[in-house]
Structure formats: C-alpha cells, structure tokens
Structure 1
Amino acid sequence: MRWPDLPPLNTLLPFEATVRHASMTAAAQELHVTHGAVSRQIQNLERALGVTLFERGTRTLRPTPEARQLAAAVRDALDQIDTAARLISRRPVTGPLTLSCEPTLLMRWLIPRLPDLKAHAPDLDLHLSAGGGPLHLERDNLDLAIRRDDFPFPPDLSRAYLFAERIGPVCRPDLAPGVTSPDGIAADVLLHTATRRGAWDDWRRVTGMTAAGDSEQTFEHFYLTLKAAAAGVGTTIGPYALVHDDLVQGQLAAPHGFVPDGTGYHLLSRRPPEEDSRIALLLSWLRGQAAQLEGTHGRRDQ
C-alpha cells in the first residue's frame, strides 16, 4: 500500500461533517445516516489514529486542534476530487448559490438590480444573505460574498475585483448651496454612521478639504444615515454605490463629487469562477453592473 498511514476512508466524511458542525446529530442529518453510525465511525477513526479528536461534554462536542487540522486536509482533498470528477464528467454545476452582501449595499445597490439579473440569467438561483465584515464561507454555509477590502480576506478564497469605493458628502439637493464652500463642507449637522465612524476623516484625508458642523448625529446603519440626509436632517459621507440611485432620482446631491478612498469591493467565492459556470455567470453580470456604476460616476464626479 502506497499510503500506510491513511485512516479508514469511510470514516472521513462523517468526521469532516462532525468537525464542521461541531455536532454528530447535524453531521448525521447532512449525510442521511443515524447518529449512532456517525459516532461509530468517529470512534473507528480515533482508534486508527490513536488520538482523541473531540472534547466531549454533556451537551457539547468540541474538535481538538488535531481534529481541525485533519478536517482541513480532508476538505482540501474532497474539493480536489470533486473538481476532478466534474471536469472528467463534464457535468455543469447546478443548484442555488448563496451570496452574502453587506446590508446597505444589498438593499441600495444589488436588490434594485435583481430584475436585470433575472433577465440576464433566468436559470440562476441566487439566495441572498445580509452580512458584513470578516467571514468564513464554509462555516456559514455560504458560496459567495461581496465585501469591501478594509480587512484581510481569507487566503483560501477566490477573489474577483468589482469596483472601487468612492466617497463624497451628500445632502438634500436644496441644502447643497448652503453647506458647500470652496474649501469643503460647513453644515448645520454632520451625520455619522456607527459602522464607519471614520468616514468624514477619510474624506478630509483624501481631499484635503475641511468639514465642520454646528452639531453631529450618529445612526446605527448607513441605510438610516442616508435616509436622514435625504430627509434634510444633515450632511453625510455617501459611498457612491449606495447613493447612486438617489442621485439619479434627485433625492440627494453631491456638491463635491466623489473620490476613491483606496478600498474596493470584491466577489469572494469558495471555488474560482472558471470551475463553476454559475459563479462565472454571476461575476460577468456583476462586472457589467459595476462598469455602469463606474461610467455614471465619471459623469457625476467633480
């Protein structure tokens, strides 16, 4: 035998699923077998390796560091086998894709464009999930995510660039003349977002302009901050993708245009687009939408 240290192969699927779920019950449900069958295979694997793979509590099951290391290797091997089998069989990948997207980008940019996606790719089954910041696609049962690169991306994920983040002050159109000066913004109220508290500082740093207000107000989410700006409560920093439609509809004005802040949005996926026609199709559409966004930005920038 060329691989004398290989454990029993029939133990690896139940083991990997148990580590991923931290639950034999969930692993059994995924594999359509009984809890007892999973438990026996885990015990067989532990005997074969001579190590304990899980810390067992009354209602808890915690994988050991050794178990996590082995499970990662098993997942890598299964991914390679799955890719090779698909290439050999030439079967297209089917089924739904679950995409996580930052909540305000999802609400204000992606969802309004879904009818165009349906017309462009009627057979693509896309499930959407709101989420932001660092992520673990496999643990969270996600296929894809759209994220801004303001944090390190996991090195094992495929990444495809979509568009640059551009920021600028926005307010209700009739307020723009009163808050705009050649040097920057002098507003009654500067609006902030709790999830990006440094937005005004970023704009000052990038442009060298000033921004001052008689008072300040903070909202929990960008969506609420932009609603407040459109209602005339004050002036805020708006990422271009999030305010594009409001600018077109005349609900917001951007008196100083938009400037890149050095970050950008990417599509992250567990497998590269060239290995999954569904991801390739979605990426092509997203880049088309991003190109339109970049084009309209060029016409609105000052």
Structure 2
Amino acid sequence: MSRDLPSLNALRAFEATARLGSVSRAAEELHVTHGAISRQLRVLEESLEQPLFTRLGRGIALTATGEQLRDRVAGAFDQLRDGWAELQHQRHDGPFVLGCASSLLARWVIPRLERLERELPALRLHLSPEEDPLTPLHTQPDAALALAAPPWPSGWVVHALAPERIGPVVSPRYVGLAWLLEGGAASLSEEALLHTSSRPQAWPAWAQASGIAAATLHYGQGFARLFYLLEAAVAGLGVAIAPAQLVQDDLAAGRLLAPWGFQQTDASWILATPRRSNDNRVDALVAWLRKSLA
C-alpha cells in the first residue's frame, strides 16, 4: 500500500482554509496570494477526484470529504505546532509574546506597561497587536489577552481574570449632557448613540440588563474599533458604551463620566495560553493581571 502524501503546502493551504472558512483569510495568514491557495486546493481535489468545498452564499463550506480531511489534517498540524512550541518554550530566555487587541493594548496595557515591567522584570514582554488574539494572523503568541465569552476556541487553556462590566460613558463637555442627566437612563432611548461594529451587542446587552427595551435604542456615528469609539466620546461627540476597565483612567481624570452605571455581561477578561504550553512565567502574569483588573 502506498504511503505517499500530497504536497505539504497543499495540506497547509487546505488546513488554513478549513479553519478560517475563507480562501482570502488563509492567503493572508500564509502570506501568499488568493490564487496560490486556490491552486493548492485544486491539487488535493484532483488527487481525490471529489470536491472539498462547496459554495455557501458568498462564502464556502466543507463537503463531507472535506470534513473528514479537515479532522485528520487539523490534528496532525496541531501536533506539529504543539511539538514546535514545546521546543521553543524549553528556552525561557527569550521574550514573552503577548497577543492583544489594539483597543485593549492602547487603553489598558500600555498605560500600565511600566509598572508591569517593573514588577515582573523576568517576563521581558513583547506585545503583538492582533484584532482577534485567539485567532492570530501573525506570530503565535505565548499568551493572548482578550475580552471574550465562551465557548472558548480549541487549542487554548483559558485563565479567567475578571468579569466584564460595560456601561455608557460621556464627556462632561458634551452639549446634551444636562438634558441626559435630567432624564435619567431612559433618555438614552432618544439619543443617537455612538457605537462600534466590533461589539454590536454591547448597547442591547446593557439596555436589557438596565431594564430598557433594546428596540427603543437608535444609533448615530459608528466606528470600526473600540479605541476610536472611546476617543470620540472623550472628544465630546456623544455617548459611547465601554468596558469599565478601559475607561477607568478617563473616569479618574474626569475626561469621561459614567452616570448610568455598568452592568456585568457574559464575557470575561481572559489570558489564554496555547494548550500543552509549560511556560512558568504564565502564573506570575495571571496573578498580576487579576490584581490589576480587580
């Protein structure tokens, strides 16, 4: 019986496409063109004489054969990644790579970076901005700091740090502030609320927890990232919604107010580490983050 394998590049292209659900995202992750990924997928389909993917609306979905191959290939690549990670982590004299979304990085990590480096000098932290640190497009981090809700992605060990609490914030310079304060939280239903496409569920979740019908809310200016949303609020452009820890410095300095309070969500601050990682620096970082987020 032949034990020949197809091209490893083709298998790698298939694994990335199946995991990410997109040829374009697979091409971006592997730093090749869309056409190169498509050609590698055709090689596998021609070898098997059956399709691995089918069109689903504007996206793609795995066929039954594709699902079988995904399960086998994904496990093999996970073993390779874990083995390589173990070899790398046997040396802890290198920097500790922390993946983190840009908004968390800019508004929470960087303002505390000097204290973190002073209190954990052995960590030698290297920050890796990733919009979704649990699905990194660039370097596989030693750990990922995120605001996320279960179910957690496979391949990670999740360390819960603190519950997420969100609430509306507004600048004391906002021209409509006096009217909003007089009307209470219910007056937000008549406000064109600032919002972000990265957290579309934030306003409805807060409203429901605060006894306000989410259907009564309406929205004004939208922003692609939470960081931009909060800068707009600080500039006095309107009322935004934010996790409490990301605005605590602004609240303390008087740049923002939170007159209507914060509500706990089903999400948490987490530090996730690749499964089978044995880096003993993680415990110290988890303890530091829990204390700082308390």
* TM-score (norm. length: structure 2): 0.67
The unaligned stretches of length 5 or more in structure 2 are 15-35, 45-68
Q: 2-side partners of 1:17 and 1:123: how far apart? A: 38
Matched residue, 2:80:
75
CA offset at residue 169 of structure 1? Answer: 1.0
CA offset at residue 191 of structure 1? Answer: 0.9
Q: Identify the match of residue 185 of structure 1 among 184, 187, 193.
A: 187
1:239-298 CA deviation, whole Å, 9 max, x = no partner?
Answer: 11211111011000000111102211211111467x31222222221112112xxxxxxx
CA offset at residue 185 of structure 1? Answer: 3.3
1:235 aligns with 2:236: no
Q: Identify the match of residue 283 of structure 1 among 276, 283, 286.
A: 286
Q: 1-side partners of 2:167 and 2:265: how far apart? A: 10
Q: 2-side partners of 1:162 and 1:77: how far apart? A: 25
Q: 1-side partners of 2:109 and 2:13: how far apart? A: 30
Q: How does 1:81-160 map to 2 (within 5 A)?
A: 93-133=92-132, 135-136=134-135, 140-150=139-149, 152-160=151-159
Q: How does 1:1-302 map to 2 (within 5 A)?
A: 65=69, 68-69=73-74, 71-72=76-77, 74-75=79-80, 78=83, 93-133=92-132, 135-136=134-135, 140-150=139-149, 152-175=151-174, 176-180=177-181, 181-186=183-188, 188-209=191-212, 216-271=220-275, 275-291=278-294
Cα RMSD between the aligned structures?
3.8
CA offset at residue 82 of structure 1? Answer: 5.3
Q: Secondary structure at the match of 1:184?
A: helix
Q: Secondary structure at the match of 2:178?
A: helix
Q: Secondary structure at the match of 1:195?
A: coil
Change (3 A) 1:231 1:120: same
CA offset at residue 196 of structure 1? Answer: 1.6
The unaligned stretches of length 5 or more in structure 1 are 1-6, 8-14, 23-56, 292-302
Say whether the 8 Å CA contact 2:130–2:136 is kept in structure 1.
no
CA offset at residue 153 of structure 1? Answer: 2.2
Q: 1-side partners of 2:195 and 2:104: how far apart? A: 17
Task: Say how many residue pairs are matched.
Answer: 239
Amino acid of the residue matched to residue 240 of structure 2?
T
Q: 1-side partners of 2:284 and 2:252: how far apart? A: 28
* TM-score (norm. length: structure 1): 0.65
Say whether the 8 Å CA contact 1:137–1:144 is kept in structure 2.
no
Q: 1-side partners of 2:143 and 2:186: how far apart? A: 39
- Identity %, equivalent residues: 32
Say whether the 8 Å CA contact 2:101–2:133 is kept in structure 1.
no
The structure with the larger Rg is 1
Q: 1-side partners of 2:221 and 2:139: how far apart? A: 34
Q: 2-side partners of 1:124 and 1:270: how far apart? A: 17
